[in-house]
Amino acid sequence: MRLDKLLSLVALSLLTVAIPAPDSAQSSQASRDASSSTSQSSTTTKSNTNNSTASATSSSINSATTSLRSSVNITSTPSATATSTSATTSTAVASPPPSKNGTTPSKNGTTPSKNGTTGLVNGVLSVGSYTPKLSKYLPVADISWDKYSVIKFGPIPLTKDIGLGLIGAQGPEVENLLKQLVKTAHANHVKVVLSIGGREGSQYFSSMMPQNGYDSASALVSSIHVLKSEYNLDGFDFDWEFPGNTNDGLPCNQRNESDSGNFSLFLRAFRAKDSPDAATAVSATVGLAPFNSGEYGVPLLDVSLAFAEFLDYVTIMNYDVWTPASAVPLVGPNAPLQVGCTFDNRVSSQSARTAVEAWTKAGMPAAKILLGVPTYGHSYAVEPSAAIDASGKLAEYPAFNGGAHPQGDVWDVIPGPNATDVCGNATHITGDWYFRNLVNATDGFLDANGTAREDIWYRYDDCTQTPYAYNKTSGIMLSYDDVKSFEAKGKFVKAMKLGGFAVWEAAGDYNDLLLDAILDGVRSG
């Protein structure tokens, strides 16, 4: 069958849509470099198609790639690279975090158990995002290699002109960092995948997809495959935020009602180009709801054939579910695990649980889902009168002052005078605090064990399974994740039989408190 014919068939098949939940109106999202918002608002209800069309058309596509697919195995032993043994030394950093030279016991005294064959840690895929921007705070040599299966490098923006080379366009520092990372990772039997896109790097995905026929995408497919051999990568993560986006990606991103269908075609072409023994890992970073259908804002009803067949896994970004930019000015959990809480009835129904349910219902196998977990929290300006309730306890979901824009941690800086994002809008501070800085900063909220300091008010919300903390002197409330919530998320990963988890981002942890906690949760869950 001709490829352009396949293209239109798949586009057709992707018309399958879901009826959104009536209460799924979602906040606008805070933007941050590369990180992303997740939720997809749904204002339209339309369900006049069903998934039988998808099955018919996509199965013919799948049969063509079945043999290729069976050779793709994220858990297989790294090849060609295992001989690289020279440990890479890191560039000097003023005061690096505690030494990670060897096997660090988890905080409960149990060493994470990594399977040398599969690379799984405590039985799951343990992925850490490693961004060039924060690399100076976590030198390559200090990455906890024994606790990760995969390091995800990037995201690197998808440039308009792929001919420039994604990595080359980033300059020699990033290029050298990637080389150093791959070398050290492979010496430690850890895989490296290149993340492409990100919140600030998804502008051109739409037109780079095979919307005008197979050939227009083949250049991109080839260019990315070339990167694999050039940098000795193990695979790629496509972080397109978001195909067919409505309100959740940046406003200047290209978009098209056929984005999701075209993305599926692209993934198929990408897989088909892989040589049978190359075993390139292919994954995607996704929102809380399945990819948009042709109907903007309406998620696909079935992703099993158009996506699950082509992807080793998806990472659900269960963060920024509630931010200071949210429509309702209440402090809410950044990364709720559960729904059905008082909070949810008021403002949101989204959480790790609803997201996993939405994706599995749409046909993504649980084993191919990784739970994205954040090492940062959002801060809010909250008056003491609102922060502390009548019983003298920290209040649940208090109102915050939307006019105040609290400064976050030391990494929360505007890159330069008149700095703008890729859309040309002025860059603002985010108010975000990474866990590491919550511990390390003199005005951080946490002690070296990751627990609230003496003069900090703390509450763990048992319903959403997220902590809040409050500094009454500064009037700053923080919604974040801690050891307890990460352990809960680890148990959830295990209970739901997910493929694993992905930490955004590795540098944000402190002394592996969070990483150890989620691995503990996975082990005991």
Q: How far is the CB of 233 from ligand NAG (least distance, A)?
A: 18
In whole angstroms, how far apart are CA 71 and each of 67, 127, 191? Answer: 7, 21, 16
Tokens of 456: 């900090």
Please list the residues that pair with 285 across neighbouring strands. 315
Pick the closer one to ligand NAG by CB: 109 or 172.
109
Q: How far, in Å, CA of 290 to CA of 196, rounded?
A: 19
Q: How far, in Å, CA of 425 to CA of 68, rounded?
A: 43
> Segment near ligand NAG (CB under 6 A), from 101-109, 169-177, 191-199, 352-360?
101-109
Tokens of 350: 């989204």
Are the C-beta atoms of residues 473 and 466 closer than 8 Å to each other?
no
Looking only at residues 284 through 323 of this chain, which bind ligand NAG when binding is defined by CB under 6 A? Answer: 301-302
Which pairing describes strands 376-381 and 432-434: parallel, antiparallel, or unpaired? Answer: antiparallel
Q: With binding defined as CB under 6 A, does residue 79 bind ligand NAG?
A: no
Pick the closer one to ligand NAG by CB: 277 or 455.
455
Q: With binding defined as CB under 6 A, does residue 91 bind ligand NAG?
A: no
User: Which member of 22, 392, 415, 417 binds ligand NAG (CB under 6 A)?
Assistant: 417
Cis peptide before 242 (omega within 30 of 0): yes
The 3-state DSSP class for residue 377 equals strand
Which pairing describes strands 369-374 and 376-381: parallel, antiparallel, or unpaired? Answer: unpaired
Q: How far is the CB of 447 from ligand NAG (least distance, A)?
A: 4
Binding track over 496-525 against ligand NAG, x by CB under 6 A: ------------------------x---x-
Are the C-beta atoms of residues 496 and 356 closer than 8 Å to each other?
yes
Q: How far is the CB of 234 from ligand NAG (least distance, A)?
A: 13
Q: Name the DSSP class of 465.
A: T
Q: With binding defined as CB under 6 A, does residue 494 bind ligand NAG?
A: no
User: Which member of 67, 94, 390, 392 binds ligand NAG (CB under 6 A)?
Assistant: 94
Please list the residues that pair with 17 across neighbouring strands. 300
The 3-state DSSP class for residue 114 equals strand
Q: With binding defined as CB under 6 A, does residue 342 bind ligand NAG?
A: no
User: Which member of 60, 73, 275, 342 binds ligand NAG (CB under 6 A)?
Assistant: 73
User: Which member of 445, 468, 480, 504 binds ligand NAG (CB under 6 A)?
Assistant: 445
Burial 202-230 (b: 16+ CB within 10 A, else e): bbbbbebbbbeebeebbebbebbbebbee
Looking only at residues 41 through 60 of this chain, which bind ligand NAG when binding is defined by CB under 6 A? Answer: 48-52
Q: With binding defined as CB under 6 A, does residue 482 bind ligand NAG?
A: no
Q: With binding defined as CB under 6 A, does residue 447 bind ligand NAG?
A: yes
User: Which member of 117, 176, 229, 275 binds ligand NAG (CB under 6 A)?
Assistant: 117
The 3-state DSSP class for residue 523 equals helix
Q: With binding defined as CB under 6 A, does residue 102 bind ligand NAG?
A: yes
Pick the closer one to ligand NAG by CB: 52 or 342.
52
Looking only at residues 452 through 471 of this chain, which bind ligand NAG when binding is defined by CB under 6 A? Answer: 453, 455-456, 471
Are the C-beta atoms of residues 284 and 315 closer than 8 Å to each other?
yes
Binding stretches for ligand NAG (CB under 6 A): 48-52, 73, 75-77, 94-95, 97, 99, 101-102, 108, 115, 117-118, 137, 211-212, 251-252, 256-258, 301-302, 361-363, 417-418, 423-425, 436, 440, 442-445, 447-449, 453, 455-456, 471, 473-474, 487, 520, 524
